[in-house]
Amino acid sequence: MVAAALSSAAAASENRSMRGAPARFLLPGFMTTGVLLLLLAAPGASAPPASDCGTPYDCAIAQVQREEFADAIQALERILAKTPGDLKALNLLGIALTGEGKKDAANPRFRQALKLDPAFHPARRNLAINEYDAGRTASARRHFEALLKHAPADDVAHVYLGEIHYAARRSATAVEHYEKSGARVTQRPAWTLHYGRALIDAGRVADSFTVLERLPEDDAASRFEAGLALGQAHAQAARFFGSARPVTRIRTRPATTRPSC
């Protein structure tokens, strides 16, 4: 199963000033270990048969959709042998190599595309996600922040930056990015849960209710964790107010007044 959440090769052919990825983030069946096939097809679409795929590049897209990564890699290498500066082919080859579990070979392809065109956002997004999945969060953060300078509404960058800041216990900053990620944050229960917890840590318990309600109803584990987080928040509030009330009464009570029985 696919390892990282990567931009669609189809989206790569759009205007290079892309303002974030389109609304669909995870294709069905690609949630186990990551998010690789980001927008390789429209929601619900299936890969065309090999005989109907069209150009060699379109055939490579179809092969990646069918998780035929080895075949896609061979096809894309043939394309790049003829047109080594093909940004879309470089990006898709990085996606296919990632799907094949060869991230160390994939990342140089993304970097090669960025060397040719630093404003080619799909390759930067994909490289950042691979860096994040490899635990190189400083590098991932640098690439996501660079992406936001050119595409400030990129929801993928925002949700990952939310995760990076949440892990570093920078809850307020995490919340800012989660909020800008829009519906993207709800497409993984862990992201939604972290968003809710970050809101609690930032003192916005009421808002956390709204966010945590978006957790899938059939995800008992995540809902249980959400309940624990909210329960702890309310327990802390109860302890605070429980200890504060006597102090308030003592301070506001006139000196000559006796407690009533």
Residue 13 maps to a domain: yes
Which of 88, 94, 91, 99 lies closest to 66, judged by CA? 99
Give pLDDT, residue 232. Answer: 83
In this structure, of 26-35, 99-108, 133-142, the range with the lowest mean pLDDT score is: 26-35
With residue 156 as reference, give the H or E element that holds it: helix 155-167
CATH assignment of the domain containing 31: 1.25.40.10
pLDDT at 47 over 70: no
pTM: 0.75
> Does 206 share its domain with 110?
no
> Does 88 share its domain with 7?
yes
- The overall average pLDDT reported for the chain is 79
> Does 125 share its domain with 229?
no
The more confidently predicted of residues 18 and 234 is 234
Give pLDDT, residue 17. Answer: 30
Residue 148 maps to a domain: no
Average pLDDT over residues 108-130: 96
pLDDT at 29 over 60: no
Query: Is 181:21 a contact under the CB 8 Å cutoff?
Result: no
Residue 256 maps to a domain: no
Rg (CA), the chain: 24
Torsion of CA 232, 238, 244, 250, to 10 degrees: -160
Give residue 235's pLDDT band: very low, low, confident or very high (50, 70, 90): confident
- Domain membership of residue 68 as a residue range: 1-135
With residue 98 as reference, give the H or E element that holds it: helix 87-99
> Does 125 share its domain with 160?
no
- Per-residue pLDDT tens for 166-217? 999 999 999 999 999 999 999 999 999 999 999 999 999 999 999 999 999 9
- Per-residue pLDDT tens for 55-114? 999 999 999 999 999 999 999 999 999 999 999 999 999 999 999 999 999 999 999 999
pLDDT at 159 over 60: yes
- Considering its fold, how many domains does the chain have in total? 2
Give pLDDT, residue 138. Answer: 98
Average pLDDT over residues 7-21: 36
Residue 145 maps to a domain: no
> Does 129 share its domain with 169?
no
